[in-house]
Structure 1
Amino acid sequence: MKNRHGLPLDPITCEPTFGQILSNRRDVLRLLAGVSLLPLVPAIGCGDDGGESGPGGDVDAGAGGPDAGAQSDWASGGTAAMTDKSSYPDPFTGALAACALVATTTEGPCTTESDLAREDVSEGWSGLPVRLALKVVDASCNPVAGMTVKIWHTNLEGSYSGQTPNNNMCLQQQDYSSQDFFRGVQTTDADGTVYFDTCFPGWYRGRAIHIHFQVKSETESYRISQLFFPEDITADIFATHGDYSAYGQPDTVFTTDNVMSQIPEAQRDRHILTVERMTDGAMLASKVVTVI
């Protein structure tokens, strides 16, 4: 059994063994992070305690996920586990009756200047594979072609990557500054759609799990915003999935998240992804986003 920092845990106390913790400099840094001497590190949770919250927040009691001991039906192993991708359905076949703008949200301090044009943004990281599908439309529900959609989010450890404006805050390990995992751009097709192959994000203190996105053209940024996963799905994954359960439940829910809580409750659905489990266990996560 290991904790969220990759350190072996004592099966009785659920604490890292002292010899393993001090085995090298990186492990020392991870230990400091676990006691809040380094930023952006969620609480350490033992693998069987998926129902506990992290520091500073309570788990949504109505999440409705399976018992922590249940085995997850979601796939693991990252995007390589998308073995049946050709069978995934088009999530945008339904007619759009109304298209309301998504709220503009903070860009945050964990951006990078690079625009990496690629569909698979995982860079080989493990985690629950996610096929992220976004359809960009205007207020009349017309698809908007030729727009650049940029996404960025954390790995399963709750860390961003790359050269950000605040690496001390955004990166759990400073060598992640030379990587660009879970960042990329795609251009909308004639139907206004883009697809990314990624993994379910991890959490860090004070934020509900989210994916940042920006829609822009060569000369203008139309919208910077964030997308969220249904809270019951998130609770299920962190209770039962082998890649995530050791991290414990996120310490922040929608009502305490400083971004989602500022969006009027009646408008929050515009920011919540629709998710579906595919035949190979991957997640298809989709959203129509109105930005113009």
Structure 2
Amino acid sequence: MKSETPQDLLPQVITRRGILRGLGLSLAAIPLGRLLIACGGGETDGVPGDTDAGTTEPGVWATGGTAAMTAAASYPDPFAAGIGTVCNLTCESTLGPCYATTVERKDISEGHDGLPVRLAFLVVDETCKPIPGATVDIWHAAPEGLYSGEDASDFCTSGDAVARAGRWFRGVQTTDANGRADFDTCFPGWYSSRTVHIHFTVRINGSEFVTSQLFFDDTLNDDIINHQPLYNARGARDTTNANDNVVSAESVGNYLFTTQRLADGAMLAAKTLVIRSSLANAQCSIPGGGGGGGGGPPPGGDGGMGPPPGRDGGLGGPPPGFDAGMP
């Protein structure tokens, strides 16, 4: 498992002005799968207001990235019904080698195409008390399965010049008085040996309280990957929540986003993050998986975008300061 993040790994925050913008591709839409409760896991039929209202066909999602989020100002509050009185800690998972310089911003897409997603986080302590002023730092792969940033390992960008020049799908936000932080992004892509996932770190006053990963229901993943433009051009994935290397099939349910399709066809994905009230308190670790597809390019070909064989991508380990686990 990961060790405590050293001070030199605290995020370097840059402004929008310094960002390379853009990268348009072409995107898509999707049906929805089973939904899970935000805090403590457990399966349910949905979240309050999960009606798919405003769309003309069941399971049809918006395309075109975050620019398609036309009703963003009126998106429902996924935490309006409350989170209950039992808040189990969000456990640790590997940092992975793909962490890089982050950016303080809500929209982390940089104009990249993809299925638009509003990520809503609620940060609370073990007593379910909201934590204002915490920073939520997230990063994930683009729809084509690549991470961004010239300071990310080539394991994560495959050395692709466009990916290295961008900084898409990385960002940090500070929780408000209610403990909430939101991001606008696109649904993540897959790459060989990993299920679809989003990384995050929660810090208070610069100190790391938890670093972990979140996932999406496999029915939803399959609908998007198999049927939606941009995602479906890459072929079938080789790893699911049932055989991932980082999270076990038995524990993944506690780390799934609750999702719903909104009136403009965007996805709302919500999760309550439960952190320790003090760094002196013990932290738990996500039970790890033992599966995962083999290394190498994903089935169907991806233009060389799959990580090379081996957990470190054949690089002899990740860059200094990074955990050697899977990204």
Same fold (TM over 0.5): yes
Aligned to 1:221: 208
- Separation (CA, whole Å) in 1 of partners of 2:125 and 2:236: 36
- Separation (CA, whole Å) in 2 of partners of 1:205 and 1:290: 30
Say whether 1:106 aligns with 2:94.
yes
Would the aligned equivalents of 1:164 and 1:170 in 2 still touch at CA under 8 Å? Answer: no
Q: Deviations over 1:12-66 (max 9, x none)?
A: xxxxxxxxxxxxxxxxxxxxxxxxxxxxxxxxxxxxxxxxxxxxxxxxxxxxxxx
Give secondary structure in 1 for the equivalent of 2:132.
coil
Identical positions, percent: 46
- Separation (CA, whole Å) in 1 of partners of 2:152 and 2:240: 26
Aligned to 2:247: 260
Give secondary structure in 1 for the equivalent of 2:102.
coil
Would the aligned equivalents of 2:199 and 2:213 in 1 still touch at CA under 8 Å? Answer: yes
Aligned to 2:260: 276
Aligned to 2:142: 155
Q: Kindly state the Cα deviation for residue 178 of structure 1 after the two structures are TM-superposed.
A: 2.2
Say whether 1:196 aligns with 2:179.
no
Give secondary structure in 1 for the equivalent of 2:121.
strand
Moved beyond 3 Å, runs of 4+:
none
Gaps of 5+ in 1: 1-69
Aligned to 1:120: 107
Would the aligned equivalents of 1:274 and 1:285 in 2 still touch at CA under 8 Å? Answer: yes
Say whether 1:169 aligns with 2:158.
no
Relative to structure 2, which stretch is displaced further, 279-288 or 241-250? 241-250
- Separation (CA, whole Å) in 1 of partners of 2:170 and 2:157: 14
Say whether 1:211 aligns with 2:195.
no
TM-score, reference length from structure 2: 0.64
Would the aligned equivalents of 1:130 and 1:199 in 2 still touch at CA under 8 Å? Answer: yes
Aligned to 1:48: none
Aligned to 2:273: 289
Written as runs of structure 1 = structure 2, the 5 A alignment for 1:19-168 is: 73-97=60-84, 98-112=86-100, 114-166=101-153, 168=154
RMSD, aligned α-carbons? 1.6
Would the aligned equivalents of 2:136 and 2:174 in 1 still touch at CA under 8 Å? Answer: yes
Q: Deviations over 1:62-102 (max 9, x none)?
A: xxxxxxxx996011100000011122100011222211111
Aligned to 2:170: 183
- Separation (CA, whole Å) in 2 of partners of 1:80 and 1:73: 17
- Separation (CA, whole Å) in 2 of partners of 1:139 and 1:72: 36
Q: Kindly state the Cα deviation for residue 259 of structure 1 after the two structures are TM-superposed.
A: 1.0
Greater helix fraction, Structure 1 or Structure 2: 1
Q: Kindly state the Cα deviation for residue 165 of structure 1 after the two structures are TM-superposed.
A: 4.8
Would the aligned equivalents of 2:215 and 2:252 in 1 still touch at CA under 8 Å? Answer: no
Gaps of 5+ in 2: 1-56, 277-327
